[in-house]
Amino acid sequence: MDEPFATNKRNWPLSSDGNPKSSLFEGRYLVQFKPDNISWKASQQIEGVNWSNLKFEASVYFQSDRTGQNGAGIIFGSIQQGSSYQFLIQPDGKFAFFKNTNGSTVPLKSFTFNAQVRKGINEENRLKAVVQNNAIRLFVNEALVHVEQAVPAGKDFGVSVVNNCDVAFDQLQVSTALTNADNQQLLPDPPKPKPKVEEKTYTYEQGAEGSYNKKIEKEADPLPIAVHFTNKSSKPLYVMVSYVPTTEKVGSNYFVDKYWFTLGKGATGYYFDTYNLIFYFYAEDQTQNFWGNKKVWDGGRRSVYTNGKRYYMREYSIQKDKLVYDANNNRYTFTLDLTNK
């Protein structure tokens, strides 16, 4: 389904009075919802839904920045039978995810601030729910913000507005054509600060000659390395990495793979923590190519197989003199620049 809201051939509910008011205007579906004790939704049905490999997305534009707006977004599942999921945002920069079952609403992710949610009047926020591998992956403006282990049922897809909200919807789409951007994984949390090195004085007995003091400094734990990537190419990139996590002992050869991360043009992303100086990575642009068929940043030492394709990754060895100490978090940081060559 591809709904640009240019016409009302799908018979979306329209109302010039009552609560809410709804209309089509300049290719958008406008909803004005005054304060009330209810929520509102409008949906369409698609036959033969394949919930094992599907994405549903729409653009949301708040038409007012007044306080107290309770949220708007997308809803999907078996809405008419009372079993659905709601992915909502608020104009102050929060998002949430709810499950509706027989009239009861359960928060799977309560409203939480996220930098990906754009604030302001008429700012576009692209919401996307990707269902694959028995999980629902939620995106705001192409950035993964939440993963829920669940599989919807039913054939309903629509928009939802919680009371006291002025909002517009556009470009509502349902598709089974997933891309690398749809397979992102959540980035790790920053490491917790390590305790400082402790100095202790111990007293040792030495026969009849009495005792003496000896100061011993406890050996410091190794510091993690927070690895970042900076996109210095001309296009947005999708990145996969393979690294030894900090849960493994120093010297371990247990590598884990994570993909895909979206890295906008000129942006810097924090990707993983490790004690290991060696990691692997692969990156490509939205068309999977640079300069025609010439690909960059691939390799051959390690590979990942996903979505019917094998990706060969490049090995990278961090030079110790390139590490920067982060005193606030008691760790090192390293940034790898991705250029077009």
Q: What is the CATH number for 17?
A: 2.60.120.560
* Biggest CA pair distance of the chain: 101
In sequence order, which residues have a C-beta less than 8 Å from that of residue 81 and are 6 or more positions away? 154
Asked if pLDDT for residue 265 goes beyond 50, the answer is yes
- E strand spans, 155-292: 156-162, 165-175, 199-205, 211-217, 225-231, 237-243, 256-263, 268-274, 278-285
| pLDDT value of position 6 | 87
In a domain, 199, yes or no: no
Residues 39, 173 within the same domain: yes
Both 243 and 152 in a single domain? no
Q: What percent of the chain has pLDDT over 90?
A: 23
Mean per-residue pLDDT, 275-294: 71
Residue 191 lies in a domain: no
Whether residue 163 sits in one domain with residue 252? no
Residue 68 clears pLDDT 70, i.e. is over it: no
User: What is the model's pLDDT at position 187?
Assistant: 58
Strand-pairing partners, residue 143, are 140
Q: Is 156 found in the same domain as 26?
A: yes
Decide if 274 is inside a domain.
yes
Among residues 146, 178, 210, which one ends one of the domains?
Answer: 178
Instruction: Say what the pLDDT of residue 61 is.
Output: 93
Reported confidence tier of residue 197, pLDDT bands at 50, 70, 90: very low
Mean pLDDT of 262-291: 80
In this structure, is residue 184 part of a structural domain? no
More confident call, 102 vs 118 = 118
- In-domain check, residue 193: no
Q: Looking at the structure, tell me whether residues 45 and 161 fall in a common domain.
A: yes
Distance CA(169)–CA(162), nearest Å, equals 14
Based on the fold, state whether residues 28 and 89 are members of the same structural domain: yes
Q: What is the pLDDT of residue 298?
A: 60
Total domain count, the chain: 2
Q: Which residue has the tokens 């109302």?
A: 15
User: In terms of domains, do 95 and 241 share one?
Assistant: no
Q: Is 194 contained in some domain? A: no
CATH number at residue 266: 2.60.40
Please say which residue of 116, 148, 178 terminates a domain: 178
User: Is the residue at 202 inside a domain?
Assistant: no
Q: According to the model, what pLDDT value does residue 333 have?
A: 93
Domain that holds residue 241: 225-338
Residue 187 counted as domain residue = no
- Check residue 183 and give its pLDDT: 73
Among 178, 194, 215, the domain-final residue is: 178
What distance in Å separates the CA atoms of residue 291 and residue 284, rounded to the nearest whole number?
12
Whether residue 216 has pLDDT greater than 50: no
Residues 301-334: pLDDT tens digits?
688 877 778 888 888 999 988 999 988 888 899 9
Q: What are phi and psi of 332, to 5 degrees?
A: -100, 155
Residues 153 and 72 reside in one and the same domain: yes
Mean pLDDT within 50-75: 85
Identify whether residues 107 and 230 lie together within a single domain.
no
What is the percentage of the chain residues whose pLDDT exceeds 70?
A: 82
Q: What is the mean pLDDT of residues 66-74?
A: 79
The reply to whether 147 and 282 lie within a common domain is: no
Do 158 and 252 fall within a single domain? no
12 and 105 together in one domain: yes
Q: Which tens digit of pLDDT belongs to each residue from 165-174?
A: 889 999 999 9
292 — pLDDT class (breaks 50, 70, 90): very low
Task: Give the SS3 label for residue 218.
Answer: coil
* pLDDT range class, residue 186, cuts 50, 70, 90: low
pTM for the structure as a whole: 0.59
